[in-house]
Structure 1
Amino acid sequence: MTEHKKPELLHAEIIAQTRLFRVEALHLRFSNGVERHYERLKAGGRGAVMIVPLLNEQTLLLTREYAAGVDRYELAFPKGLAEVGETPEQAANRELMEEAGFGAHKLTRLKTLTLAPGYLSHRMDVLLAEDLYPKRLEGDEPEPIEVVPWSIDKIDELLASEEFSEARSIAALFLVRDLLRR
């Protein structure tokens, strides 16, 4: 495996900003002397989590909520941003309570995922939630989120569903499926 030297950052500046996104322009010099300008969506510093809740040994919990980006309701695993000072485990438990109405006695961090790392700096920690107990917290969602129990035996049907298309949820499902097979 070839070791690569990271490019030298010559200049960085925020060139656009909304309530949700910051666009950062980067001027980089690579080790071979080539200079390039890049733009990326810069994530906030709080981090994000996705939770794969196991209600029992045979049942996953999904949520169905409106996804503005694709203008339809999507099945996915609960997810959200960490609050200032929260660990991924604390954020995962809070989001699980807000979106699915459960807390978890056991949370296991599975992997940190990126999405389009060529231009997005966003990272998301995926956690497995086990030993669930009923607990509801008020969230910031505009309408109640539907919680959808799904049998682990029907993972292929979930993967075939047009409603289940988010890449991060699909990746999380494969991580958990492989873990449960061991």
Structure 2
Amino acid sequence: MKKPEILSNELVAESRLFKVEQLELRFSNGELRTYERMRGGRTGAVMVVPMIDAEHMLLVREYAAGTHRYELGFPKGLIDLGEEAAAAANRELQEEIGFAARTLQPLMQVALAPSYFASNMDIFLALDLYPSQLEGDEPEPLEIVKWPIADVDGLLARVDFSESRSITALFLARKSLKLDR
């Protein structure tokens, strides 16, 4: 299919965290439409499934303002300007769980709501971890939770494990480790 032609792109709202742009589009059949989307960052983001050993992964519990509760998920964060995705993944590991990885295996790049948000996240599997701590930007210490990767059902049954990106990362890691049922 031929992509629609962008007739105009205008910034219509902005906050400290978000920018909303309005796109005027013409589709190949002549239809005109106005779309709004959140303008994504230029660098992207990463999420990492850290395997502390062959059977256990590490998750973090941290406050999520969107749901106003503590959520269990995988280490994640933004890629700094000029930083490679793998370097950002290793930095986030050190900031959030106090480990670095000798092996970072790319699993997949996912879109975060492509109809409304222009941003991607690179998901990695982290293997051969070793202690290494960097200071992070979290407002409070994160709780680290060791979880058996074989207990998918137990993790999915938890109310505090609900983020779709973490669920995606879990299944991608299991597939990569050849643990699919």
The one of 151, 156, 169 equivalent to 1:172 is: 169
After the TM superposition, list the runs of 4 or more consecutive aligned residues in structure 1 that deviate by more than 6 angstroms.
none
Give the TM-score normalised by the residue count of structure 2.
Answer: 0.97
Give the TM-score normalised by the residue count of structure 1.
Answer: 0.96
SS of 1:56 mapped into structure 2: coil
**Structure 1 residue 153: Cα displacement:** 2.2
Corresponding residue number in structure 1 for 2:78:
81
Structure 1: which 5+ runs fail to align? none
Matching of residues 89-168 of structure 1 within 5 Å: 89-168=86-165
The alignment of Structure 1 onto Structure 2 pairs a total of residues equal to: 179
C-alpha separation in 1, matches of 2:160 and 2:41: 28
C-alpha separation in 1, matches of 2:17 and 2:107: 26
C-alpha separation in 2, matches of 1:158 and 1:180: 17
Question: Is 6-15 or 112-121 further displaced after alignment?
Answer: 112-121
**Structure 1 residue 84: Cα displacement:** 0.9
**Structure 1 residue 137: Cα displacement:** 0.4
SS of 2:95 mapped into structure 1: helix
The alignment's C-alpha RMSD in Å is 0.8
The one of 51, 62, 65 equivalent to 2:62 is: 65
- Percent identity between the two aligned chains: 57
Corresponding residue number in structure 2 for 1:48:
45
